[in-house]
Amino acid sequence: MTVEFTDYHTRLAAYVLLVDEQERVLLAWWNGEGHSDPEWSLPGGGIDFDESIRDGLVREVFEETGLHVEPGALLVDHHFTARGRTFDGWFRSQRFVFEATITGGELGTTEVGGSTDHAAWVPLAALDGQPRSEIVDIALAARRVEEAGR
């Protein structure tokens, strides 16, 4: 099937992978927004129409975690395609995961009525069996590849 770029919607999203010295990853609890089961995800999300990827990332991370970050290097990019839930047609979700440095703030979700209920530092060893978004595993796999290359 050939789908031209004018025949589908595009969703840009950016996330951060933050792992601390205690081997805990910062995750946001996505509430499923009434159409999916809740699960852990990386802090981040959809980029607004008039935002740069990095500006949207900084905004999303603050909304979901209460933390201010300085985006670093791009760790991995990933995409998938699917049929829209709220519109008739196809969409492409293009996701970017960045390294980042925490520059301030206090842990706590700042968005009201949004898709994130809370954020927490979760031990990497405790992730098995936890409901989580595919983007968490994609980012952690990219981290392992990067660390193996050092």
Average pLDDT over residues 31-58: 93
Question: What is the average pLDDT across 17-42?
Answer: 93
Are 9 and 100 a contacting pair, CB within 8 Å?
no
- Give mean pLDDT, residues 80-101: 87
Record the tokens describing residue 105, joined without a space. 């703030």
Domains in the chain, number: 1
Query: What's residue 141's pLDDT?
Result: 96
- Which CATH number is 9's domain given? 3.90.79.10
Average pLDDT over residues 48-63: 97
Region 48-65: mean pLDDT is: 97
| Inter-residue contact 95 to 10 (CB < 8 Å) | no
* Complete DSSP assignment for 14-37: EEE--B-TTSEEEEEEE-GGGTS-
Over range 95-118, report the average pLDDT. Answer: 92
Of 47, 42, 53, nearest to 17 (Cα)?
42
Residue 97 has pLDDT above 80, yes or no: yes
- Residue 63 contacts by C-beta under 8 Å, 6 or more apart in sequence? 45, 109, 110, 111, 114, 116
Q: Which of 38, 34, 40, 50 is nearest to 15 (CA)?
A: 40
User: Both tokens of residue 79?
Assistant: 């995409």
The alpha-helical segments, DSSP class H, found in 30-104 are 53-65
143: three-class secondary structure by DSSP:
helix
Model confidence at 77, pLDDT cuts 50, 70, 90, reads very high
Q: List the Cα angle 51/83/93 in 5-degree steps.
A: 30
Domain extent, residue 83, equals 5-149
Query: Three-state DSSP class for 89?
Result: coil
